[in-house]
Amino acid sequence: MKKKSLCIDFYEVEDLTELSGEDRELLEAAKEMTSNAYAPYSEFYVGSAILLENGKVVKGSNQENAAYPSGICAERVTIFSASAQYPDVVMKTIAVAARNPRQAMDYPISPCGSCRQVLLEFELKQKNPIKILLTGETGKVYIIEKAIDLTPISFSSDDLKRLLS
């Protein structure tokens, strides 16, 4: 038996002036989208925004449903919407923000496993990295340079191809 380790590198920014104007605008759009979230059960309001290579920004928010797990996370709403509207346009950067009225969220929120898998799928499909910006209502921002860094031991279409061949 061999023990192995995985490690990811990411950036942590405490002063938003360290970010490009493009990234600050995208984070602001994600924060604004938390107001469009439908989260009456969890009160966990998540917004996201994706910057596409053509300069368009596609936005989304989480949508809950009393019949769990019928809801969908903000990241997937946004990614699927971007893919449906602009199927051949590269997704450059996604920003994700969250808020909760019961507790100040002054720390970055990370995507769930399903969202990580979807981000990875589209990153592999477009053969270009998707930069990920994560934040709460206030506080620091995490910057992950590519989706595969969030899912280092991942399942992809290559695995399906091996299984089906």
Active-site residue among 22, 64, 75, 137?
Answer: 75
Rounded Cα distance between 118 and 77, Å, is 11
Q: Which amino acid is at 43?
A: E
Asked if 22 is an active-site residue, the reply is: no
Contact 49, 78 (CB under 8 A): yes
Q: Point out the residues that are catalytic.
A: 75
